[in-house]
């Protein structure tokens, strides 16, 4: 199929429908409102349902209900709205319901701003709701990647029976880029024999629930979930990296910020500084292992984020104290510039006094 | 054909109206001493011409944006100066309108005054947007914008592109589409835009006759 020009939010909707998503429940919020708008126009055409809920809480609980029937279902929002959805997300995790949740992050905390930000990293990767659970988190850096991972997200959600998060920012949501819709990879998925679609008098009924009043049973359930999360950590890590083996400095960034970092790396090369990049595409599971490939003589690792420093915690875990970890970040909707990143790279390469 | 003093730029959502409007304002500054660009986009929260206010003002172009002095709000607040730019006969006035019929709704507020002026209403076409790839769809959006705004489209702008991935064949594809639309509704193509890096590679004489080379003011260096 030929390339078309799409806005990130619309492309998320188109990719979801392509992946077989039939239901979208949401509540509008800038900068992701084009997603529900797109779904309201397009889902009825494929026999699906778009419903604007009365609130984010209602929307995520509708997702819970639809997922319980085994349907492919999505919701989307931006930071404050995703905060409201956390209760529903932990319920989905507890009841092992596959669903896809999109967060086009904006400045926070609280109502914050409508401009892009990456300050929901903690919430996305540490579990924003209660209990021991994890969600797979994809952090695409272009509209094309967003499309590809939205499709993949539905498969992984079904494969592991887990909520999957697409964590992007307002810039990805609002930006236009050329995209191509490739046929999604066909993978073998287990039958949804747990879904509540009626017994037809032939079996005992299925129960979708996250309540386990018996401590022993709940512990068993938690250990089962833990086993699943270990398997995801083993199999689902995705990242991009280059130039680590002979790097003077290594940058770590994801999403929109990684694109700015790539420009800064080009500028650094012109000045003769060797800079490597680690770009996590899954934020959970995090690509800790690849950090072991960093040149042992590198001067330091620079994390660049649109926050006051959240992923930096994972970077520190990953480098195991072998390298100093530096930070460059803007917040509140401000975007780091290639020039400021270059200045930091030069300082680190020259040795910070 | 010479453009009218008052030029209104509309189009489908995401067709590239703002990039064209900014480029058009810069070009007009070469011929007119008083040029104003009014940002009437009440649809988009990002990528609005007001983001380039300082750059344009440095070139001597007057930028009219929201009456609330904040770049990052999506409030539909319009400045009083817009009426002045519409009616001031000494001002080359350009109005950059938000996308789709919903964006064009803002024009209805000014349509009585606009109708008293000599004006051009340009409709920007990007044949690479999924919703405007066929003649029928392009015309449907155009008619909706006309009925929402109460104004008539006087010229088509072929602005078919894929941002920095654009090739000559994209411009040619858009040219054919725009020609079909032009024939059907009897409105002329006024400009055929192409980014600087491909503008000189275009061979079609028909396109070259109306070629409008574009600088990408609205895209940061790191964007594709």
Residue among A115, A117, A176 with most chain B CBs within 10 A, to mutate: A176
Number of other residues whose CB lies within 10 A of the CB of residue A85: 27
Token pair of A236 as six digits: 């689902």
Q: Contact, B80 vs B67, CB < 8 A? A: yes
- Report the distance separating Cα A64 and Cα A221, nearest Å: 19
Q: Which helix (H) or strand (E) holds B191?
A: strand B189-195
- The bridge status of strand A239-242 relative to strand A275-280 is antiparallel
Q: Is residue B123 part of a domain?
A: yes
pLDDT of residue A271: 94
pLDDT digits 0-9 by tens, A60-80: 999 999 999 999 999 999 999
Q: Which of B14, B46, B130 has the CB atom closest to A31's CB atom?
A: B46
pLDDT digits 0-9 by tens, A82-135: 999 999 999 999 999 999 999 999 999 999 999 999 999 999 999 789 999 999
Burial pattern A7-17, b for ≥16 Cβ within 10 A else e, equals bbbbbbbbbbb
Q: Is residue B205 part of a domain?
A: yes
- The domain limits of chain A are 4-235, 241-349
Cβ-based interface (< 8 Å): residues of A facing B: 3-7, 14, 30-31, 113-115, 142, 170-171, 174-178, 259-260, 262-263, 333, 338
Taking alpha carbons only, the member of A259, A251, A208, A257 closest to residue A95 is: A208
Residues of A in contact with B44 (CB under 8 A): 174
- Report the distance separating Cα A351 and Cα A179, nearest Å: 42
Residues A178, B162: C-beta atoms closer than 8 Å: yes
A-chain residue closest to B160, CA distance: A5
Say which residue the tokens 């609002």 belong to.
A174
As for how many domains chain B has, the answer is 1
Rounded to a whole number of angstroms, the distance from the CA of A110 to the nearest CA of chain B is 16
Mean pLDDT for B157-185 is: 96
Residues B46, A262: C-beta atoms closer than 8 Å: no
Residues of A in contact with B74 (CB under 8 A): 30, 114
Q: Contact, A26 vs A52, CB < 8 A? A: yes
Q: Is residue B222 part of a domain?
A: no
pLDDT digits 0-9 by tens, A25-50: 999 999 999 999 999 999 999 999 99
Mean pLDDT for B35-58 is: 86
ipTM confidence: 0.85
3-state DSSP call for residue B186?
coil
Length of chain B as a residue count: 224
Mean pLDDT for B144-158 is: 95
Average pLDDT along chain B: 91
Percentage of chain B lying above the pLDDT 70 cut: 96
Q: Based on C-alpha coordinates, what's the Rg of chain B?
A: 16
CATH number at residue B96: 3.40.50.300
Q: Is residue B68 part of a domain?
A: yes
Length of chain A as a residue count: 353
**Taking 80 as the threshold, does the pLDDT of residue A352 lie above it?**
no
Q: Which helix (H) or strand (E) holds A91?
A: helix A86-94
pLDDT digits 0-9 by tens, A198-208: 999 999 999 99
Strand order in the sheet with A73-77: A49-52, A23-26, A73-77, A99-105, A163-169, A136-138, A282-284
The pLDDT confidence band at residue B68, using thresholds 50, 70 and 90, is low
Per the model's pLDDT, the better-predicted residue between A352 and A94 turns out to be A94
Say which residue the tokens 């002979």 belong to.
A246
Assign domain A241-349 one CATH number from 3.40.50.2300, 3.40.50.920, 3.30.390.50, 3.90.1170.50.
3.40.50.920
- Report the distance separating Cα A111 and Cα A293, nearest Å: 40
- Report the distance separating Cα A15 and Cα A21, nearest Å: 9
Task: Tell me whether domains A4-235 and A241-349 share a fold.
Answer: yes
pLDDT of residue B76: 72
**Taking 60 as the threshold, does the pLDDT of residue A353 lie above it?**
no
Q: Contact, A258 vs A280, CB < 8 A? A: no
pLDDT of residue B44: 77
pLDDT digits 0-9 by tens, A230-248: 999 999 999 999 999 999 9
Contacts of A219 (CB under 8 A, 6+ apart): none
CATH superfamily of A4-235: Thiamin diphosphate (ThDP)-binding fold, Pyr/PP domains (3.40.50.970)
Token pair of A101 as six digits: 């949740």
**Taking 60 as the threshold, does the pLDDT of residue B193 lie above it?**
yes
pLDDT of residue B147: 94
Q: What is the DSSP letter of A279?
A: E
pLDDT of residue A184: 81
Q: Is residue B184 part of a domain?
A: yes
Q: Is residue B219 part of a domain?
A: no
- Report the distance separating Cα B174 and Cα B181, nearest Å: 10
| pTM passes above 0.90 | yes
Q: What is the DSSP letter of A291?
A: G
Average pLDDT along chain A: 96
pLDDT digits 0-9 by tens, B76-102: 778 788 999 999 999 999 999 988 888
Residues of A in contact with B165 (CB under 8 A): 3, 178
Contacts of B199 (CB under 8 A, 6+ apart): B211, B213, B214
Q: Alpha carbon of A325 to those of A44, A57, A249, A292, A312: distances in Å?
A: 50, 38, 10, 14, 8
Residues B221, A142: C-beta atoms closer than 8 Å: no
**How many cross-chain Cβ pairs, A to B, lie less than 8 Å apart?**
61
Residues B223, A259: C-beta atoms closer than 8 Å: yes
Per the model's pLDDT, the better-predicted residue between A236 and B106 turns out to be A236
What residues make up the domain containing B148?
Answer: 6-214
Per the model's pLDDT, the better-predicted residue between A287 and B103 turns out to be A287
**Taking 90 as the threshold, does the pLDDT of residue B103 lie above it?**
no
- Report the distance separating Cα A83 and Cα A80, nearest Å: 5
Q: Contact, A16 vs A8, CB < 8 A? A: no
pLDDT digits 0-9 by tens, A290-327: 999 999 999 999 999 999 999 999 999 999 999 999 99
**Taking 80 as the threshold, does the pLDDT of residue A138 lie above it?**
yes
Q: Which helix (H) or strand (E) holds A149?
A: helix A143-160
């Amino acid at each position: 199929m030929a390339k078309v020009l799409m806005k990130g939010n619309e492309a998320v909707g188109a990719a979801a429908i392509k992946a077989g998503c039939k239901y979208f429940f949401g509540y509008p919020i800038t900068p992701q409102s084009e997603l529900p708008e797109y779904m309201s126009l397009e889902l009825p055409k494929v026999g699906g349902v778009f419903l604007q809920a009365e609130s984010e809480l209602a929307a995520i609980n509708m997702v819970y209900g639809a997922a319980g029937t085994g349907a492919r279902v999505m919701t989307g929002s931006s930071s404050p709205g995703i905060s409201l959805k956390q209760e529903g997300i932990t319920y989905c995790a507890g009841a092992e319901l596959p669903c896809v949740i999109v967060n086009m992050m904006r400045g926070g905390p609280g109502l914050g701003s409508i401009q892009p930000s990456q300050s929901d990293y903690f919430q996305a990767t540490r579990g924003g709701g209660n209990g021991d659970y994890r969600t797979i988190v994809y952090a695409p850096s272009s509209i094309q990647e967003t499309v590809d991972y939205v499709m993949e997200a539905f498969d992984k959600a079904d494969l592991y029976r887990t909520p999957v998060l697409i964590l992007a920012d307002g810039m990805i949501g609002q930006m236009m880029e050329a995209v191509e819709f490739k046929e999604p990879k066909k993978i073998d998925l287990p039958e949804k024999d747990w879904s509540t679609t009626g017994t037809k008098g032939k079996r005992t009924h299925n129960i979708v629930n996250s309540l386990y009043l018996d401590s022993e049973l709940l512990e068993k359930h938690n250990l089962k979930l833990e086993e699943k999360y270990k398997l995801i950590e083993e199999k689902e890590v995705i990242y991009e990296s280059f130039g680590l083996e002979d790097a003077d400095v290594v940058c770590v960034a994801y999403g929109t910020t990684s694109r700015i970092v790539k420009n800064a790396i080009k500028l650094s090369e012109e000045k003769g500084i060797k800079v490597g990049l680690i770009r996590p595409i899954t934020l959970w599971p995090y690509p800790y292992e690849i950090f072991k490939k960093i040149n042992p003589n590198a001067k330091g690792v620079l994390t660049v984020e649109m926050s006051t420093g959240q992923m930096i915690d994972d970077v520190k875990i990953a480098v195991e104290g072998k390298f100093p970890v530096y930070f460059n970040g803007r917040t509140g909707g401000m975007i780091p510039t290639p020039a400021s990143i270059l200045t930091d790279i030069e300082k680190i390469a020259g040795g910070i006094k | 054909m010479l453009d009218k003093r008052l030029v209104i730029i509309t189009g489908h959502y995401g067709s590239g109206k703002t990039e064209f409007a900014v480029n058009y304002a810069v070009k007009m500054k070469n011929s007119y001493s008083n040029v104003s660009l009014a940002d009437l986009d009440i649809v988009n929260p990002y990528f609005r011409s007001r983001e380039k206010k300082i750059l344009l003002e440095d070139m001597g172009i007057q930028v009219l944006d929201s009456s609330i002095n904040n770049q990052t709000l999506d409030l539909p607040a319009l400045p009083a100066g817009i009426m002045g730019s519409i009616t001031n006969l000494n001002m080359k006035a350009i109005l950059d309108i938000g996308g789709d019929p919903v964006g064009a709704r803002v024009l209805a507020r000014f349509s009585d005054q606009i109708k008293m002026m000599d004006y051009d209403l340009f409709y920007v076409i990007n044949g690479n947007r999924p919703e405007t790839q066929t003649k029928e769809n392009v015309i449907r959006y155009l008619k909706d914008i006309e009925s929402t705004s109460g104004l008539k489209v006087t010229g088509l702008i072929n602005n078919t592109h894929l941002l920095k991935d654009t090739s000559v064949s994209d411009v040619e594809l858009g040219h054919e589409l725009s020609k079909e639309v032009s024939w059907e509704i009897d409105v002329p193509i006024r400009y055929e835009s192409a980014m600087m890096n491909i503008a000189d590679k275009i061979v079609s004489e028909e396109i070259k006759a109306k070629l409008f080379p574009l600088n990408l003011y609205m895209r940061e260096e790191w964007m594709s």
